[in-house]
């Protein structure tokens, strides 16, 4: 992300930014709240009276800078259930194909005068890589989390670190890119190869497998920034990963594709339980991957979740999850690591948002660390199952006893 300018005083004012990559679009989504104003370039169809005596109207497309009051937000092919102020996160619509690039659709009425467009007319601004946009917030609108997010985006990497091909023997594959804050599905592939195997159609199976591997190969060429990637992963249950790997590199040699051939040293082949995107957590937590990506945001998150899950089994009083239990642990100064989903900070209800901000500050004041998980990354799946907030404690707490004690005090006061 590039910062082009800002004018903020006491939490009120504007910030102008330029998105550089898909990760920046996700940062933009976390910076914009319902009720903010957003200004960016747009193309609008303008209808005007003709100069002729016929009275006909003329239409033309005009490039404008428009400012809208944000009423709705949608991120690429993902609809944001929480955009209306609820606590929902992002839910993938399986009927929509993966977008080629991340786009943030910000909709609302025109809120500042423009000679070509009436005030109040509804418009959608599309924010994508290379686009400059300005976020305008009212009194107390900018908070510490916004500034932290901006700093992360300014210091952040240029894009994805890992390219992954998840495949299986039935002819299904998913091509993904994994960055610090986002896991994006670039292509879903489905070729019917299993049915041909059952009917004994050998040549048909070979053709189907060639088609399947060709689509994987083409998808990698289209979506993988080979020079920038730290790792390329082929993962599958069974031997599908090995067949795909061998086909792809044989084809690269045959066609002289230097981008793929020069990336061979970056490739890892890993077993996973299924070709579903959720299996990316298995990929990222495997020792050979974790060692090569040591210190990255998602590796730290997965390691923290693994520690949490082990504590739930071996020493459950040193791990807790859910808003009420985590709040109690924070009051005792017992939280060593707070894990919280960024979806909880996106709530447009300022009271809810402030509550989770205060929780984070409270943990840090007692010497704990706060890990904000991106709800668009593979590591967030497990945290979502834990209601979006969980904690590793520095000393054991019996939540049942604490709850009973609190209930007793409450009853005594009645």
Question: What's the chain's average pLDDT?
Answer: 85
More reliable by pLDDT, 92 or 142: 142
Q: How far apart are CA 222 and CA 374, in angstroms?
A: 25
Domain end (from 291, 322, 356)? 291
Looking at residue 409, its pLDDT comes to 37
Q: Which of 34-43, 83-92, 248-257 has the lowest mean pLDDT?
A: 83-92
For the segment 13-30, the average pLDDT, to the nearest whole number, is 92
What separation in angstroms does the CA of 351 have from each of 20, 355, 356? 32, 6, 9
**Residue 108 domain boundaries:** 2-155
For the chain, percent of residues with pLDDT exceeding 70: 85
Q: Are 167 and 149 members of one domain?
A: no
- Whether residue 309 is contained in a domain is answered as yes
Work out how many domains the chain is built from and give that number.
3
- Whether residue 127 is contained in a domain is answered as yes
pLDDT tens figures, 33-47: 999 999 999 987 777
Q: Are 71 and 20 members of one domain?
A: yes
Q: Are 377 and 353 members of one domain?
A: yes
pLDDT tens figures, 185-236: 889 999 988 654 444 444 556 889 999 999 999 999 999 999 989 999 999 9
pLDDT tens figures, 287-319: 888 888 887 888 889 899 999 999 999 999 999
Domain end (from 243, 273, 291)? 291
Q: Are 125 and 50 members of one domain?
A: yes
Looking at residue 100, its pLDDT comes to 64
For the segment 257-273, the average pLDDT, to the nearest whole number, is 95
Looking at residue 341, its pLDDT comes to 94
- Whether residue 414 is contained in a domain is answered as no
Query: 3-state SS string over the chain?
Result: CEEEEEEEECCEEEEEEECCCHHHHHHHHHHCCCCCEEEEEEEEEEEEECCCCCCCEEEEEEEEEEEEECCEEEECCEEEHHHHCCCCCEEECCCCCCCCCCEEEEEEEECCCECCECCCCEEEEEEECCCEEEEEECCCCCCHHHHHHHHHHHHCCCCCCEEEEEECCCCEEEEEEECCCCEEEEEEEECCCHHHHHCCCHHHHHHHHHHHHHHHHHHHHHHCCCCCCCEEEEEECCCHHHHHHHHHHHHHHHHCCHHHHCCHHHEEEEECCCCCHHHHHHHHHCHHHHHHCCCCHHHHHHHHHHHHHHHHHHCHHHEEECHHHHHHHHHCCCEEEEEEEHHHHCCCCHHHHHHHHHHHHHHHHCCCEEEEECCCCCCHHHHHHCCCEEEEECCCCCHHHHHHHHHHHHHHCC
Looking at residue 401, its pLDDT comes to 79
For the segment 155-169, the average pLDDT, to the nearest whole number, is 83
Q: Place 54 in a pLDDT band, splitting at 50, 70 and 90.
A: low
For the segment 39-65, the average pLDDT, to the nearest whole number, is 76
Looking at residue 405, its pLDDT comes to 58
For the segment 133-143, the average pLDDT, to the nearest whole number, is 94
Q: Are 318 and 232 members of one domain?
A: no
Q: Place 53 in a pLDDT band, splitting at 50, 70 and 90.
A: low
Q: Which of 29-43, 88-102, 245-259, 320-334 has the lowest mean pLDDT?
A: 88-102
Q: Is the pLDDT of residue 90 over 60?
A: no
Q: Is the pLDDT of residue 158 over 90?
A: no
Domain end (from 124, 155, 186)? 155
């Amino acid at each position: 992300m590039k910062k082009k300018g800002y004018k903020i005083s006491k939490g009120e004012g504007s910030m102008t930014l330029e998105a550089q990559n898909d990760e920046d679009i996700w940062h933009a989504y976390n910076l914009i709240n319902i009720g903010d104003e957003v200004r960016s370039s747009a193309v609008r169809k303008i209808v005007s009276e003709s100069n002729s005596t016929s009275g006909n109207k003329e239409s033309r497309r005009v490039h404008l800078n428009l400012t809208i009051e944000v009423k709705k937000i949608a991120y690429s092919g993902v609809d944001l259930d929480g955009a209306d102020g609820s606590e929902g996160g992002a839910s993938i619509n399986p009927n929509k194909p993966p977008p080629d690039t991340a786009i943030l659709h910000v909709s609302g009425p025109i809120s500042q005068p423009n000679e070509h467009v009436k005030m109040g007319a509804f418009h959608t601004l599309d924010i994508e890589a290379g686009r400059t946009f300005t976020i305008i917030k009212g009194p107390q609108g900018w908070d510490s989390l916004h500034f932290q997010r901006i700093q992360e985006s300014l210091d952040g990497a240029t894009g994805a670190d890992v390219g992954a091909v998840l495949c299986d023997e039935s002819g299904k594959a998913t091509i993904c890119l994994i960055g610090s804050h986002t896991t994006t599905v670039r292509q879903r592939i489905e070729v019917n190869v299993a049915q041909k195997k059952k009917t004994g159609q050998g040549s048909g199976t070979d053709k189907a497998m060639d088609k399947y591997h060709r689509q994987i190969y083409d998808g990698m060429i289209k979506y993988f920034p080979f020079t920038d990637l730290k790792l390329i992963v082929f993962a599958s249950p069974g031997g599908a990963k090995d067949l795909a790997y061998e086909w792809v590199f044989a084809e690269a040699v045959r066609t002289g594709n230097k981008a793929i051939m020069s990336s061979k040293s970056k490739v890892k082949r890993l077993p996973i339980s299924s070709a579903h995107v959720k299996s990316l957590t298995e990929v990222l937590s495997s020792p050979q991957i974790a060692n090569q990506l040591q210190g990255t945001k998602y590796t730290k998150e997965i390691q923290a979740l693994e520690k949490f899950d082990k504590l739930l089994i071996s020493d459950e009083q040193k791990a807790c999850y859910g808003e009420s239990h985590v709040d109690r642990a924070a009051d005792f100064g017992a939280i060593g690591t707070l894990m919280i989903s960024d979806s909880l900070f996106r709530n447009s209800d300022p009271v809810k948002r402030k509550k989770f901000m205060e929780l984070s500050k409270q943990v840090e004041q007692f010497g704990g660390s706060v890990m904000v998980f991106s709800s668009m990354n593979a590591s967030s799946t497990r945290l979502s199952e834990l209601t979006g907030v969980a904690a590793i404690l520095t000393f054991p707490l019996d939540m049942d006893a604490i709850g009973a004690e609190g209930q007793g005090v409450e009853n005594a006061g009645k």
